[in-house]
Structure 1
């Protein structure tokens, strides 16, 4: 029997993430179509054929799927099959598994763990849509391994690997503002974490949800979720520190200065004895240098004048050749921190320049567009002549993305 194509698996996953039946999807397709479609029963048969990979959608249905799910054709149908070298990476792990004469085997699991770490380390550098395709392919592989024979220990390692991959996938969806998909992947990651009795993974799921609701503006819930993540996390673990920092950011958005500074103080006490990790770019290994970045963000959000010097120091370090590999995405966000801080201390002209540089970098992901919008609104409120140019640049950044103005 031929394997189901990756695009068919993605179509089915997109529907289940929305918790739609095939009948409900048929109605959605009819509503989205500019021209008459067959009766619902016929469309259900078409959907079933697509999701089983029996025939690829034609141009009309490709367009309708993209409209209904809010995703590009590249993400739904093409990207995973065109990722250079990715098939070779999966094939290499499969060959290792078969050579070990085992359905799973330690060597396969070790290589899978390495792949998970590589993907988490690629997060700050690889565009989220591109990284998401790699994550999907590895999740498909984990699913195949879970269907095979394995020991209890091997089963647990697969659950953990699948949990990390689902969590990273959710993070990419949040970056792309695809919140329904993110919630579905977060639920999966949390479920796998609970099944594996792996508190760190479960805590990261709660912290990631705190980040998502903070982006959406539900700051009180972000505080509650951040504190919940701390309750679940092993003490002084990376996720405990990250959740504490996230709590501080949420308090800053609520305008609570004492609570904000209390959280920042706890982060600094946790971070000060830590050595630099082997892979500081790893998304789930807390880099002590990130503490200054979070401090700059948090202080800028609360309007503390100290945010300016913090943001300048962070930006200088990120762009210094002697401070490790380039971190362009983190540098772009540091510029937004600096711009907001400059507005607070009465330097709006430089704030405009810094924001324009950040937006022109191409490194700001959709989940952070609102931060640029906040600066644009602040510049407009001050009546600067550059406000119009900044607003146009912001609108160009958000082309194709539904954002508040």
Structure 2
């Protein structure tokens, strides 16, 4: 099986013994395969992810949701109808709210099925108002699908989804979706180390977005992150100040986990990330507060995936205050959760590189854990 997985992979896997140990963990139920290995098993067996790894038939579950909407549509005397579009928009909100706690490969399957349903509805008879609502729903779904593809580092598919989302937003005259498309591209550029390009895209998103929208705030945050990666302290802090001014009067939304709805709590998390990337020691305080909140029972309960990312922020911030021991411990905890998505692997590598340069005894163990989980790391130079 290790040989078959290696043959199915598009990149070099860890040494065979490491892969064999992982397969045994999967077979024994010790760990669920992460997104990369899930895809490899599916290639080897020629089966879907849901057929291989889910006790509950999630295809059927998602089909039930769509079938329920379809029944309501047929009950109304029109091809689409208000009831159908209302329920479809609620389903879009549900998917966007599930994003922080659902593996991207799994959420992507649900998004695809809803997009197929939107496509069928667009082929039917509809009023102009219904047509626009379908375009908007399709735009949000395409955007969410692109975000999942970026998390999985499937960049050609992400680009295609973003183009579709932008086209639907243009037809529907929906500037916020257009702005989110640019913001999402900016995040991808950041993960690829294209910091100046990310800054330009983030500023472009702000030009397009309505000034009172979540997209405008999020794009401002991405601009700040890009400035931080380029080591531009004044520009970074100016962006953070603008975010604080926009967020401070905001109420907490009904669904703070909604990926496309900015809530005040996210501001603190963005501050922690941005200052840690800038190498500002103040990031330690923010990052500790963010991690404590994400692991508490408040505001909807613990959010393990976000907490794993928050550990990376805190670990990087601790390197700036010359505390590599705790930084190494935190990055190990983040990796062992197995909740990091591929688009965040580079952040773990960056911390490991910093720990190694400080000659911490456990640095070799961190490298080995990373190699077993994600493949041989090509460690970057830590930004200072």
- Counterpart CA distance in 1 for 2:163 and 2:377 is 26
Task: Give a deviation string over 1:92-125, Cα, whole Å, max 9, x none.
Answer: 1111111112111110000000000000000000
- Counterpart CA distance in 1 for 2:244 and 2:184 is 21
Asked if the contact 2:277–2:316 (Cα under 8 Å) also holds between the matched residues in 1, the reply is: yes
Offset at residue 384 of structure 1 (A) = 1.4
Matching residue of 1:393 = 369
| TM-score relative to the length of structure 1 | 0.80
- Give 1:352's match in structure 2, choosing from 316, 328, 346: 328
**Aligned-residue CA RMSD in angstroms?**
2.0
SS at match of 1:385: coil
Matching residue of 1:303 = 279
5+ long unaligned stretches in structure 1: 1-31, 33-65
Higher RCO, 1 vs 2 (CA within 8 Å, ≥6 residues apart): 2
| TM-score relative to the length of structure 2 | 0.84
- Counterpart CA distance in 1 for 2:378 and 2:246 is 37
> Does 2:290 align with 1:318?
no
- Give 2:225's match in structure 1, choosing from 235, 246, 249: 249
Offset at residue 269 of structure 1 (A) = 0.4
Asked if the contact 1:296–1:311 (Cα under 8 Å) also holds between the matched residues in 2, the reply is: yes
- Give 2:317's match in structure 1, choosing from 334, 341, 345: 341
5+ long unaligned stretches in structure 2: 1-9, 11-35, 52-56, 380-384
Task: Give a deviation string over 1:135-162, Cα, whole Å, max 9, x none.
Answer: 0000000000001111111110000000
Task: Give a deviation string over 1:309-358, Cα, whole Å, max 9, x none.
Answer: 11001111111213322211111111100000111101101111111111
- Give 1:194's match in structure 2, choosing from 170, 175, 188: 170
Aligned residues: 337
Query: Could you say which structure has the larger radius of gyration?
Result: 1
Matching residue of 2:108 = 132
- Counterpart CA distance in 2 for 1:337 and 1:136 is 32
Matching residue of 1:369 = 345
**Structure 1 stretches of at least 4 aligned residues deviating more than 2 Å after TM superposition:** 69-77, 79-82, 322-325, 402-405
> Does 2:89 align with 1:120?
no
Offset at residue 403 of structure 1 (A) = 6.2
SS at match of 1:321: coil
Asked if the contact 1:80–1:134 (Cα under 8 Å) also holds between the matched residues in 2, the reply is: no
- Counterpart CA distance in 1 for 2:361 and 2:40 is 36
Matching residue of 1:53 = none
Asked if the contact 1:80–1:137 (Cα under 8 Å) also holds between the matched residues in 2, the reply is: no
- Give 2:142's match in structure 1, choosing from 166, 176, 184: 166
Matching residue of 2:206 = 230
- Counterpart CA distance in 2 for 1:75 and 1:324 is 38
- Counterpart CA distance in 2 for 1:134 and 1:254 is 37
> Does 2:49 align with 1:73?
no
Offset at residue 396 of structure 1 (A) = 2.1
